[in-house]
Amino acid sequence: MSTQMCVYKCPSCEKSFKNTSGFQKHSKKVHGTGLKATEHKVTTPGSKRDDVEDNVCQWMDSDDENNPDCSTEPVFSTPAAVYQKDNLKNDLPALVIEALQQIKCDNCLTIPGSVYGFGIVAIANDVITKVKSGDTFSNKFITDMTSNFWNTIISGDKERTFSLYNEAIWHHFYNMWIDEDLTETVIDDFRKLCNADAENAQLFRTARMFLFRLIVLVRNHRDRSDGLLQIQKVPWQM
């Protein structure tokens, strides 16, 4: 006989629980909050009372050992900040060169038949050569990049789990990555520092690849300084 079943649904992640103790344990352990289960009680129609639906977790005292599907992520908090925005501004030129060096040395870009790879590598090499010869990035480039990347790497600092912290950073980065003004700032400086015959389309592709490489370097640089051990790895580092 089908009947209605009452569950307690987490407003943050929408995970459901059969009893109040499970809800409250989840709320405190995962989200760091003390929500009242009774305020988040919902009714699930058309269920058999003696059936436990796949998306409803029954919490026990030994849930982490005996109920792997209901395991929770440890509460996460960022350490006291050591690395500050001014540190990033000072470190940025070297990190920019490192990101360009990664592009220059990426063998996947220069495999036979590559359509755009050789041009991207050429632009990266030109910029590296000019900077090492004494040319510098513009003040606008350094200021805009510092501000945007700093806001990105601190965007997850208030999250209580590492997965939410990680998600917040990458969500913020995506919005920055598709920002036309920032991309144009990168293209303008790269154009001044590379051969005059570089095509706009190639500069655009290089800028997009460069921004992705740079966020990984900037984030790892800050994480190491602040004592976070979850250093980000990307395919070319594995």
pLDDT digits (tens, 9 = 90+) for 94-144: 999 999 999 999 999 999 999 999 999 999 999 999 999 999 999 999 999
Burial of 130 (0-12, 13-18, 19+ CB in 10 A): middle
Of the pLDDT bands very low, low, confident and very high (cuts 50, 70, 90), residue 5 is low
**How much is the pLDDT for 106?**
95
Q: Flag whether pLDDT at 1 surpasses 50.
A: no
* C-alpha to C-alpha distance for 192 and 24, rounded to whole angstroms: 58
Give the chain's end-to-end CA distance (angstroms, integer).
53
Alpha-carbon gap, residue 213 to 67, rounded angstroms: 39
Report the phi/psi class of residue 145: left, alpha or beta, with left for phi > 0 and alpha for psi in -120 to 50.
alpha
* 190-197 mean pLDDT: 86
Instruction: Judge if pTM exceeds 0.95.
Output: no
Judged against a pLDDT cut of 90, whether residue 185 lies above it is answered with yes
pLDDT computed for residue 130 by the predictor: 94
- Per-residue pLDDT, 78: 65
Which tops the pLDDT comparison, 22 or 168?
168
- Closest Cα partner for 30 from 170, 162, 228, 168? 162
CA distances from 219 to 80, 205, 225, 238 (A): 16, 22, 10, 17
Q: Which residues pair with 41 in a beta bridge?
A: 8
Number of H helices, E strands in the chain: 8, 4
19: left (phi over 0), alpha (psi -120 to 50) or beta: beta
Query: What is the arrangement of strands in the sheet containing 56-57, beginning at the earlier edge strand?
Result: 41-47, 3-9, 16-17, 56-57
What's the rounded Cα separation, in Å, for the pair 33 and 53? 25
- Provide the pLDDT for residue 3: 52
Q: Is the pLDDT at 202 greater than 50, yes or no?
A: yes
Helix (H, G, I), strand (E, B) or coil at 42: strand
The pLDDT assigned to 148 comes to: 97
Contact 78, 221 (CB under 8 A): no
- What tokens were used for 130? 């000019």
Mean of the pLDDT values across residues 29-44? 74
What gap in Å lies between CA 185 and CA 236, rounded to an integer?
26
What pLDDT, in 10s, does the model give residues 209-224?
Answer: 999 999 999 999 988 8
Give the chain's radius of gyration (CA, Å).
Answer: 24
pLDDT bracket for residue 197 (50, 70, 90)? confident
The better pLDDT of the pair 18, 217 is held by: 217
